[in-house]
Amino acid sequence: MEYLYNELRREKAVLVGIDIGEYDAESSLAELSELCFTAGADVVAQTIQKRSHPDSATYIGKGRLEDLRIFCADEDIDLLVFDGELTPIQQRNIERETDVRVIDRTTLILDIFALHARSGEGKLQVEIAQLKYALPRLGGKGTELSRLGGGIGTRGPGETKLESDRRHIRRRIKTLENELETLKKRRELIRKRREKDGITTVAIVGYTNAGKSTLMNALTDAGVIAENKLFVTLDPTARQLKLPGGRKVMLIDTVGLIRRLPHNLVEAFLSTLEEAANADVILNVCDASDEECAEHLEVTEKLLEELECKNKPIISVLNKCDIAEDVDALPVIGKSVRISALTGDGLDELLMTIDKVLPPTRMKVNILFPYSLTGEVAKLREDGELHSEEYTEDGIKLCVTAPIRLLEDYKDYII
């Protein structure tokens, strides 16, 4: 009955952060609030304590913890969410003092990933990340394990796995990694097939909730879920897109980024992000109306550097320009296009820009084939655009526009 109760009633959460001067604590807590909303909780209150370092036993000071205990009891709070990574000891001590379930930033993000993973690969990646995170915390899960299906932070691989001994979990992780490796090889075969078939790919990257799914739907009618929440779409989506010049490309959406994304999550979803590394063109989508837009662009830029794809053609897509202010001040990468994926403004310019930056794949040439190769003429008629055809004493003379990959096979016959 408790599981059904939690599905019908949104949990009441309090956010807790500390400001040690390493990052903007208020912006980080605002982002944590959005994550809680996505996971299904209502944020009742939030608190930030300035400290030189986290308390080794309780993360925050004992006085602030006592204030939290009283507030949680008075307001019937279900969940305390800490904007950092708690140790098992810290989590156990806080739960013991407050008698409220406690999770940290990483657990919350993992929970959202578990909620939104749809593909087999996505589910495997989430489970591996959750098990690796749970492994060193088996001895200090506190009250969380006593609540089967107890709400945010408990979705995913299941309680039985989290209660298992370390050897069993390591064995499970190894099994999942082998399955994931098989899926990665399959994805690599698909990439190689695309390259062999001369398929051009355009990857959409950017901060989560920047409008990537809305843009995907606007350009291709992909039918991807688009909501004002973080990490709503987790699995990559690929759709064919026809450009103004008649060229067809494969448009691929990737998992969204976030400030202070835990490193083990970046590793888990690297195969998804590699779609950007292997793309011919990258669309760096950002929410131009967001006050943190400049920082979001920096997050994406760092990722592109890690994936070693900054030398590829990059188009900065400044989305939501219909409600944005001071767009000119944004630090864009490469060419930039202002659009509104919701209203459709600027989409034609975006398509033309993609067309311009794409490397050429077709060429117009004159070819002279001997009569013994009339079968190759038929291939060019099928795969290329024939402008003229003349039968001469030396053979068949063609003027044709065809894919460069195909013309490489006939380079000895090009005039």
Question: In what order do the strands lie in the sheet containing 335-338?
Answer: 238-242, 248-253, 200-206, 281-287, 314-319, 335-338
Other CB atoms within a 10 A radius of the CB of residue 164 amount to 18
* Domain carrying residue 375: 362-413
Q: Is the pLDDT of residue 166 over 60?
A: yes
Distances (CA, A) of 155 to 34, 123, 138, 145, 278: 18, 12, 16, 12, 32
Rounded CA separation 108/56 (Å): 21
Q: What share of the chain is helix, strand, coil (3-state, %, to 5)?
A: 45, 20, 30
Burial of 311 (0-12, 13-18, 19+ CB in 10 A): exposed
Tokens of 161: 């796995």
Tokens of 393: 């004493």
DSSP state of 173: H
Q: Could you tell me if 312 and 344 lie in one domain? A: yes
Mean of the pLDDT values across residues 45-65? 94
* Confidence (pTM): 0.67
pLDDT the model gives residue 311: 76
Q: Could you tell me if 288 and 204 lie in one domain? A: yes
User: Which of these three, 107, 136, 163, is where a domain ends?
Assistant: 163
Rounded CA separation 216/211 (Å): 9
Q: Is the pLDDT of residue 365 over 50?
A: yes
Per residue in 82-108, pLDDT (tens digit) is 998 898 899 999 999 999 999 999 888
Amino acid identity, residue 93?
Answer: N
b/e string for 182-197 if b means 16 or more Cβ within 10 A? ebeeebeeeeeeeeee
**Residue 338 resides in a domain:** yes
**Residue 169 resides in a domain:** no
Mean of the pLDDT values across residues 59-81? 94
Residue 402 sits in a domain whose CATH number is 3.30.70
Selection from 292, 282, 288 nearest residue 333 by Cα? 282
**Residue 315 resides in a domain:** yes
Q: Could you tell me if 203 and 92 lie in one domain? A: no
How many domains does one find in the chain? Answer: 3
Q: Could you tell me if 203 and 338 lie in one domain? A: yes
User: Which of these three, 115, 135, 163, is where a domain ends?
Assistant: 163
Other CB atoms within a 10 A radius of the CB of residue 110 amount to 26
Q: Could you tell me if 282 and 248 lie in one domain? A: yes
**Residue 183 resides in a domain:** no
Residue 143 sits in a domain whose CATH number is 3.40.50.11060
Strand (E) positions, 112-247?
200-206, 238-242
pLDDT the model gives residue 334: 72
Q: Could you tell me if 371 and 288 lie in one domain? A: no
Q: Is the pLDDT of residue 225 over 60?
A: no
**Residue 174 resides in a domain:** no
User: Which of these three, 139, 163, 187, is where a domain ends?
Assistant: 163
The CA-based diameter of the chain, rounded to the nearest angstrom, is 98
Tokens of 156: 């995913």
**Residue 42 resides in a domain:** yes
**Residue 114 resides in a domain:** yes
Q: Could you tell me if 157 and 204 lie in one domain? A: no
Q: Could you tell me if 70 and 131 lie in one domain? A: yes
Per residue in 255-279, pLDDT (tens digit) is 677 766 666 666 656 656 667 777 8
Which residues lie below 8 Å from residue 267, measured CB to CB, with a gap of 6+? none
Residue 236 sits in a domain whose CATH number is 3.40.50.300
Q: Could you tell me if 289 and 215 lie in one domain? A: yes
DSSP assignment of 337-384 equals EE--TTT-TTHHHHHHHHHHHSPP-EEEEEEEE-GGGHHHHHHHHHHS
pLDDT the model gives residue 49: 94
Q: Could you tell me if 155 and 38 lie in one domain? A: yes
Rounded CA separation 320/341 (Å): 7
Q: Could you tell me if 283 and 313 lie in one domain? A: yes
- Residues 317, 350 contacting (CB under 8 angstroms): yes
Per residue in 13-54, pLDDT (tens digit) is 999 999 998 888 888 898 899 889 888 899 999 999 999 999
Q: Could you tell me if 284 and 339 lie in one domain? A: yes
Tokens of 237: 């989506």
DSSP state of 395: -
**Residue 34 resides in a domain:** yes
